[in-house]
């Protein structure tokens, strides 16, 4: 899965006239780069072939087991994307993919993927808007097409693009691999990345979001990466894989922060975005955290859980904190897990499974009666538990 830790980005199209009609302007100063026209269609055979493959890939994505169908989440992301891209709204389609890595991508035909791991890591709507604006930048500036045209062996590329056709109905892992592979074919140059960042920042400012949130998300990712390596007793490599397709993360963070300061207008009110982000995420955060915990990234996951604690769901976070320790299983971890489960259960939002985890952990440490009591509590709270038979067996 290492390659899927990259922030895969695609984005191909082609036209070339300045299109200010979408309410999109350019903050980079100097001459304005051209944007593709709304409702753009491919203009030559190369591009038509590319779009055709992307449309087939999109069909696979539409039917993928990994797709999250929740109408509220999909509507929110589609509406937000439309607010950000303005007149280009009909050209972009958003798909939410359930996978715990930080990633978003935009295909040449306007197919946009947002991965659940990215949603889990956005601290507010402004950060999500920064990512969408960045992807929009790749799309509207036709970075993917430029990249495609610079690739010498187009035949090889087209063969790879054809691969998803063979895996309709394949396993989730295979599907994910295919989607990731398409995206990696278009790793962008630093120039393209900087341009997309600048573009995203401009959109952020225009829409009244706090521009500094664009650099904040990178600061968080760098801190998570450091925590992940520190927990494994390793020094952070100078440029880990997660950032392999992007400019040096620290440099990017600093460039974005400086650009945000430059773009911020004195006296204008900016915000981190409306509370609707937290409301839409609420029904999903447990599942997203569950996926994250299963990565067995001890330091990174604890960092992430800590970074979420200001959002006010101490019971749920406490349960997952316990799970992180339980899964690592180093000496003393089970006691730590028990302690976190107990802390979590003091809050009304602790999920019922906290009792189950606590019960099994207590039994394992020899406190059998307290463990059984916790398991009985779990069964009492979840009459429809799918693992009821197994838990009842443990109680005998």
Closest by CA to 40, choosing from 94, 90, 79, is 90
CB of 219 to Zn ion, least distance (A): 17
Sign of CA dihedral 250, 300, 283, 104: positive
Under 8 Å CB-to-CB from 114, ≥6 apart: which residues? 77, 94, 95, 96, 97, 104, 131, 132
CB of 249 to Zn ion, least distance (A): 12
**Of residues 249 and 301, the one with the C-beta less far from Zn ion:** 249
Q: Site for Zn ion (CB under 5 A): which residue of 5, 6, 8, 9?
A: 9
User: How many amino acids of this chain bind Zn ion (CB under 5 A)?
Assistant: 3
Candidate segments 6-14, 277-285, 287-295, 329-337, binder of Zn ion by CB under 5 A: 6-14
CB of 60 to Zn ion, least distance (A): 23
**Of residues 19 and 132, the one with the C-beta less far from Zn ion:** 132
**Of residues 125 and 193, the one with the C-beta less far from Zn ion:** 193
CB of 22 to Zn ion, least distance (A): 20
CB of 144 to Zn ion, least distance (A): 10
How buried is residue 393: exposed, middle or buried, by Cβ count under 10 Å (0-12/13-18/19+)?
Answer: exposed
CB of 142 to Zn ion, least distance (A): 13
CB of 188 to Zn ion, least distance (A): 6
3-state secondary structure of 380: helix
**Of residues 196 and 362, the one with the C-beta less far from Zn ion:** 196
Alpha carbon distances (Å) from 303 to 33, 228, 344, 345: 39, 8, 17, 21
The pairing of strands 104-106 and 93-97 is unpaired
Candidate segments 5-13, 291-299, 307-315, 354-362, binder of Zn ion by CB under 5 A: 5-13
Residue nearest to Zn ion (CB): 9
3-state secondary structure of 67: strand
* Residues forming beta bridges with residue 65, ordered by sequence position: none
Closest by CA to 263, choosing from 184, 322, 206, is 206
Find tokens 């009609």 and name the residue. Answer: 21
Q: In the window 158-197, what residues touch Zn ion (CB under 5 A)?
A: 193, 196
Binding map of Zn ion across residues 340-359, x = CB under 5 A, - = no contact: --------------------
Alpha-carbon distance of 109 to 93, in angstroms, equals 9
DSSP designation for 97: E
Binding map of Zn ion across residues 195-214, x = CB under 5 A, - = no contact: -x------------------
Contact 106, 57 (CB under 8 A): no
DSSP designation for 162: H
**Of residues 40 and 186, the one with the C-beta less far from Zn ion:** 186
Candidate segments 2-10, 66-74, 75-83, 367-375, binder of Zn ion by CB under 5 A: 2-10
Find tokens 């440490």 and name the residue. Answer: 365
Candidate segments 9-17, 28-36, 55-63, 330-338, binder of Zn ion by CB under 5 A: 9-17
Residues that bind Zn ion (CB under 5 A): 9, 193, 196
């Amino acid at each position: 899965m290492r390659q899927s830790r990259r922030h895969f980005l695609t984005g191909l199209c082609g036209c070339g006239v300045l299109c200010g009609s979408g309410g999109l302007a350019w903050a980079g100063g100097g001459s304005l780069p051209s944007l593709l026209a709304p409702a753009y269609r491919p203009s030559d055979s190369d591009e038509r072939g590319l779009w055709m493959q992307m449309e087939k890939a999109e069909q696979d994505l539409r039917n993928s087991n990994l797709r999250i169908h929740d109408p509220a989440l999909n509507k929110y992301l589609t509406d937000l994307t439309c607010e950000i891209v303005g007149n280009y709204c009909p050209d972009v389609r958003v798909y939410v993919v359930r996978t715990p890595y930080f990633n978003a991508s935009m295909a040449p035909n306007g197919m946009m993927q947002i991965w659940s791991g990215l949603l889990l890591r956005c601290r507010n709507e402004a950060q999500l808007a920064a990512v969408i604006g960045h992807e929009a930048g790749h799309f509207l500036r036709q970075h993917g097409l430029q990249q495609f045209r610079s690739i010498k062996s187009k035949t090889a590329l087209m063969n790879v693009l054809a691969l998803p056709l063979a895996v309709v109905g394949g396993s989730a892992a295979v599907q994910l691999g295919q989607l990731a592979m398409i995206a990696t074919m278009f790793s962008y140059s630093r120039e393209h990345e900087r341009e997309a960042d600048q573009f995203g920042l401009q959109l952020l400012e225009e829409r009244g979001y706090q521009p500094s949130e664009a650099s904040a998300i990178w600061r968080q990712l760098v801190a998570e990466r450091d925590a992940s390596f520190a927990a494994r007793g390793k020094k952070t490599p100078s440029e880990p894989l997660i950032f392999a397709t992007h400019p040096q993360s620290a440099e990017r963070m600093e460039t974005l922060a400086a650009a945000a300061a430059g773009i911020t207008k004195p006296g204008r009110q900016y915000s981190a975005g409306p509370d609707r982000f937290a409301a839409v995420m609420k029904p999903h955060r447990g599942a997203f955290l569950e996926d994250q915990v299963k990565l067995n990234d001890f330091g990174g996951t604890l960092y992430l859980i800590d970074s979420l604690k200001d959002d006010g769901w101490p019971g749920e976070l406490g349960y997952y904190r316990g799970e992180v320790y339980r899964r690592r299983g180093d000496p003393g971890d089970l006691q730590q897990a028990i302690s976190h489960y107990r802390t979590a259960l003091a809050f009304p939002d602790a999920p019922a499974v906290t009792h189950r985890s606590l019960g099994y952990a207590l039994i394992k440490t020899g406190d059998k009666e307290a463990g059984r009591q916790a398991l009985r509590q779990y069964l009492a709270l979840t009459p429809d538990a799918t693992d009821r038979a197994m838990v009842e067996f443990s109680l005998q």
